[in-house]
Amino acid sequence: GAVVSQHPSWVICKSGTSVKIECRSLDFQATTMFWYRQFPKQSLMLMATSNEGSKATYEQGVEKDKFLINHASLTLSTLTVTSAHPEDSSFYICSAPDPSGGYEQFFGPGTRLTVL
């Protein structure tokens, strides 16, 4: 199957700083990628849809000015958590759809963010 990577796998930062998380499709192109957030012992919640060449689409309740998404190329989407606070500490996972159009989603390994 297609491979999606994320970097970094974990990050610890101070409150008020910004953190960038990268999501890459390694062996295929993805015009669309998805960003999910998972709090401890909870399921994944979709944050936003990242679109190559256009603005991201954010789910209700997700602040677009706080969670900046840039789909810079057909293989890279970045999520920047700006002015991070402890409540932003979470597991962030990205996914990309099957490039052959089969609707299967391929997930990255996730990034653990801890804000002190």
Partner 1 sequence: KQEVTQIPAALSVPEGENLVLNCSFTDSAIYNLQWFRQDPGKGLTSLLLIQSSQREQTSGRLNASLDKSSGRSTLYIAASQPGDSATYLCGGNAGNMLTFGGGTRLMVKP
Q: Closest separation between CB of residue 16 and partner 1, Å?
A: 26
Residue 29 or 105: which CB sits closer to partner 1? 105
Q: Closest separation between CB of residue 1 and partner 1, Å?
A: 7
Per the CB < 8 A criterion, the answer to whether 30 and 75 are in contact is yes
Determine the Cα–Cα distance for residues 101 and 114; give it in Å rounded to an integer.
35
Q: Which residues of 64-103 are buried (b: 16+ CB within 10 A; e: fewer)?
A: eeebbbebeeebbbbbebeebeeebbbbbbbbbbeeeeee
Residue 78 or 95: which CB sits closer to partner 1? 95
Which residues of the shown chain bind partner 1 in the complex (CB under 8 A)? 1, 32, 34, 36, 42-46, 49, 91, 93, 95, 97, 102-110, 112
Residue 31 or 70: which CB sits closer to partner 1? 31
